[in-house]
Amino acid sequence: MSSEHDRIPSFLRSAAAEPLDHLSTLDMVTVINGEDRRIAGAVAACLPEIARIVDNAADIIGRGGRVVLIGAGGSGRAAMEAVSEFSPDGDHGLRALVAGGEKTLLHMRNEAADDYDRGIRDLQSIAFDHNDMLLALSVSGKTPWVWGGLRHAGSQGSRIALITGNAASEAAQLAEMIVAPDTGPEVVAGFSTPKAQLAQQQILTMIVSGLAIRAGRTWRNMRVDVPFHSDRWCERQIAVVMAASDCSRSEAKAALQACHRHCPTAILTILTGMDPGEARRILKDNDDRLRFALQQTQSPLAGA
């Protein structure tokens, strides 16, 4: 007999996992692993729409607008982490909002997630308008706070994208770009949505990585605009300069020191031999895109 739960993705039951509580531990985790292998295929089926989101988001940021990620619960935390990694200095047009706020207690976050009007107010509080793009994350597609945000973005004439596990949800009806990977039923129905969340994380990582590449923040397959915020980030900078220019640790540290800890400038000085001031000027002329700067210097590495 069907029920309301049957129409909620987290309550769909997996035939492969039906005898789960009778299995040995090894067989149990083998079933779970087999279900997890479906995630990559489900995400692969969504690649054209993921690419469309990346292109639209890159266009918005290129025009000076913002791409605002919103989500409640785990989706909101994923959005916050993605933005923190992408833009730790908050200076690259990507922003995240989580229902209830980043530092709010769990029960207050849950209350906020159920507040449709607050979803509208939270976007209004950051002056979200038609120049911005909304990327909503909602596994269930049934979160009122997210609906409020989606409806406000629609009222502004903004571009709207959604990553969800439920293509038939209310949220999906409010978005123009929808990524809804069919990861199938969860291994344990009604417990949580790990498969859907893993798919969401993979898609979000693709989008954020794609934005970094389209913004010229990478060279080859390396992020080269690593900022300096702490000793940990200092070590990242050194590693990036060493990898990009094939130099020693001492050379990387010296170049970073001479270039005021600006990674692309340090890399350009090592690869071309020019002084830091000239390297910084050429990078600024090329919107800090290392590949274009190398092309201007006619470096043989420009096309590498």
Last residue of a domain, one of 198, 214, 230: 214
74: its two tokens: 């785990």
Q: Do 52 and 187 belong to one domain?
A: yes
- Report the pLDDT value the prediction gives residue 86, as an integer from 0 to 100: 84
Provide the token pair at 263: 């990674």
Domain boundary (199, 214, 229) is at 214
* Same structural domain, 235 and 183: no
Shared domain check, 64 and 156: yes
- What pLDDT score was predicted for residue 87? 76
Based on the fold, state whether residues 233 and 195 are members of the same structural domain: no
Contact (CB, 8 A) for 264 and 293: yes
Where a domain ends, among 197, 214, 231?
Answer: 214
The pLDDT score that the predictor gives to residue 303 is: 56
Q: Report if residue 202 sits inside a domain.
A: yes
Q: Note whether 150 and 202 are same-domain residues.
A: yes
- Is the confidence at residue 53, as pLDDT, over 50? yes
Q: Are residues 237 and 300 in contact, defined by beta-carbon separation less than 8 angstroms?
A: no
Q: What is the pLDDT of residue 2?
A: 39
Range in 59-68, 209-218, 225-234 with the lowest mean pLDDT: 225-234
For 137-146, write each residue's pLDDT tens digit: 999 999 999 9
Alpha carbon distance 240, 243 (integer Å):
5
Residue 92 lies in a domain: yes
Give per-residue pLDDT as tens, 12-21. Answer: 666 666 677 8
**What is the per-residue pLDDT across 95-115, written as a single tens digit (0 to 9) for each?**
999 998 876 545 566 788 889
Over residues 66-76, the pLDDT tens digits come to: 999 999 989 99
Give me the chain's average pLDDT, please.
Answer: 89
Residues of the chain above pLDDT 90, percent? 69
Domain interval for residue 280: 219-296
pLDDT for position 4: 41
Is the pLDDT at 301 greater than 80, yes or no? no
Of the candidate ranges 4-18, 49-63, 283-297, the one whose mean pLDDT is the lowest:
4-18
Q: Are residues 179 and 138 in the same domain?
A: yes
Residues 206 and 223 in one domain: no
Q: How many domains does the chain contain in total?
A: 2
176 and 51 in a common domain: yes
- Do 199 and 242 lie in one domain? The reply is no
